[in-house]
Copies of this chain bind each other. A is one copy, B any other.
Amino acid sequence: MTDYHNIARNGLTPDELEKILRRIGKERYHINHPHHKMMMAGKMTKLQLQAWALNRYCYQAAIPRKDAAILMNSKDPVFRAEWRRRISDHDGTNGLDGGVARWLKLATGLGLDEEVVKSERQALWSTRFAVEAYVNFCRQRPLLEGVASSLTELFSPTIIAERVPGILAKYPYVSEETLAYFKPRLTQAPKDSSFSLAYVREHADTPEKQQAVIDALIFKTGVLWSMLDALDYAYGEAGRIPPGAFRGTSNE
């Protein structure tokens, strides 16, 4: 595992910076997490898939808020007009036909109760803390770091390309319609990430800013990784569901 601490101290070219960012993805993106591998191997129970969908909802539901925080930190109307599209992608025209709604459909398609999912009350505390940390990061850090934290989207088409056919093949009770969330993401994410990458390459023009960009992406991989850590601990082999967390539904 590469140590990225102070790695930019002597300054990097944009290409060198991009190379480091892509290496972070290769090493730390949650496609490498045992819980994701378990899902791909078809080894998950319905309860485990439900727990994943219910917890991941907290993340999906917070995406437009973190993007609003990034908008808030930009003084450039051109940037804002471009970034705003992400919020429309997730909230849709009326709040009911975007990515958040599609994730809710995924959750209910797995047999979960819509109100329980939306309340987030049965989500793991670790999930909620990670999501909150992500929104706060985008709110409190400089714009450049908020943009950089979105760069996990560079790697998301790979995980989606693996996840959708994997789930459909291994879990016969999951329909393509239930997974409708992922389809638009395959075109949205590359558009979004190429904008962010170009922005970061252009604006990270000092060693300090380059290090901040690197740290922002590491932080973000930590958000996603820690969410799977918590899921795997609670619902994986250890099966140590914390007090108050989701324990399955009766309406399957």
Stretch at the interface among A106-114, A152-160, A225-233: A225-233
Contact status A28-B244, CB under 8 Å? yes
Find A126's partner among B226, B238, B240 (CB 8 Å cutoff).
B226
Interface set, chain A 159-206, CB cutoff 8 A to B: none
Cβ-based interface call for A223 (8 A): yes
A234 partner residues in chain B, CB cutoff 8 A: 229
Chain A residues 55-107 with CB under 8 Å of chain B are none
Measured between alpha carbons, how far is A25 from B240 in the docked complex, in Å? 18
Do the beta carbons of B225 and A243 come within 8 Å of each other?
yes
A129 CB contact (under 8 Å) in B130, B232, B243: B130
- A237: chain B residues at CB < 8 Å are 238
Neighbouring B residues of A225 by C-beta, 8 Å: 125, 242-243
Chain B, residue nearest A27 (CB): B243
Q: Tell whether, in the assembled complex, residue A244 and residue B222 are in contact, meaning their CB atoms are under 8 Å apart.
A: yes
Q: Is A124 interfacial (CB 8 A cutoff)?
A: yes
A1: chain B residues within 8 A (beta carbon): 243-244
Whether the Cβ atoms of A125 and B243 lie closer than 8 Å is no
The smallest beta-carbon distance between A122 and chain B, in angstroms, is 10
Chain B contacts of A125 at CB under 8 A?
A: 130, 219, 222-223, 225-226
Contact B230 A126 (CB under 8 A): yes
Closest 6 CB pairs of A and B: A125-B222, A129-B129, A233-B233, A129-B133, A125-B226, A28-B243
Could you jot down 24 A-B contacts, CB within 8 Å? A1-B244, A5-B121, A27-B243, A28-B243, A125-B130, A125-B222, A126-B126, A126-B129, A126-B130, A126-B229, A126-B230, A129-B223, A129-B226, A132-B132, A221-B243, A222-B244, A226-B230, A229-B230, A229-B234, A229-B242, A230-B233, A233-B233, A236-B238, A238-B238
A129-B129, A229-B230 given; name 15 further pairs at CB < 8 Å. A27-B243, A125-B222, A125-B223, A126-B129, A126-B130, A126-B230, A128-B133, A129-B130, A129-B226, A132-B133, A221-B243, A222-B244, A229-B242, A232-B233, A233-B238
